[in-house]
Amino acid sequence: MPSAKDSFKKAVKNLKDYIVLVTVDAKKYNDANMQILRFLISEQKTPGVYVTLNKPYDIIKRAMESSKIDARLIIFIDAVSRTEGGTKKIENCLLMGSPEKLSDISVAMEQAVSSLPNEKRFVFFDSLNTLAVFNSPSTVARFMHFLTAKMREWKIGGVIISLEKETDPKLLDELTQLSDARLDLGGGK
């Protein structure tokens, strides 16, 4: 079976701007994320925005550093770490405080994407199923429609991660229609 990096590389090979939905088995989640990020950052030298709804920014940054991925090319939007008094900026990260604040997350993403220096950029959205824990299925679907439309408007690469067995199949089907490719990595059902 090909690696996550090789599968992703093949999926975007002929695409300049793209949206890729990546479903992954929970056991392979961390490794798949790091492989895709390594391809985007280390091989393609592409700066990006990493929206984390799963783990605090400092944990992801450490994981990237231990995987020899240059985290300096990333602006993080951390919707996990609790903050006092709303949004807070530290280093190259915006702390949002909650995955429920979808409008705040979208505004932060727009600001982060527009501040990236290159024409070639990406958004790495981690993860769809966490969003579904904090918001209704219809709210998540509307937000993902909005987000994919913004990614197309920004003319960037978009990666949306979801745990394979923990996301509503109807939502995955809907998002698959909005995506240029869907990668199913690992596990099987």
18 vs 77, 83, 177, 184, 188, CA distance in Å? 21, 33, 13, 16, 25
Strand partners, 185: 24
pLDDT of 121 reads 95
What φ, ψ does residue 25 adopt, rounded to 5°? -65, 140
Of the candidates 100, 92, 104, the residue with the CA atom closest to the CA atom of residue 134: 100
Q: What is the mean pLDDT of the chain?
A: 90
Of the candidates 166, 165, 161, the residue with the CA atom closest to the CA atom of residue 179: 161
Domains contained in the chain, CATH given:
4-185 (3.40.50.300)
DSSP H/E element including 105: helix 102-115
The per-residue pLDDT for range 58-94, each reduced to its tens digit, is 999 999 999 999 999 999 999 988 766 667 788 899 9
Q: What is the pTM of this model?
A: 0.93
Cα first-last separation, the chain? 16
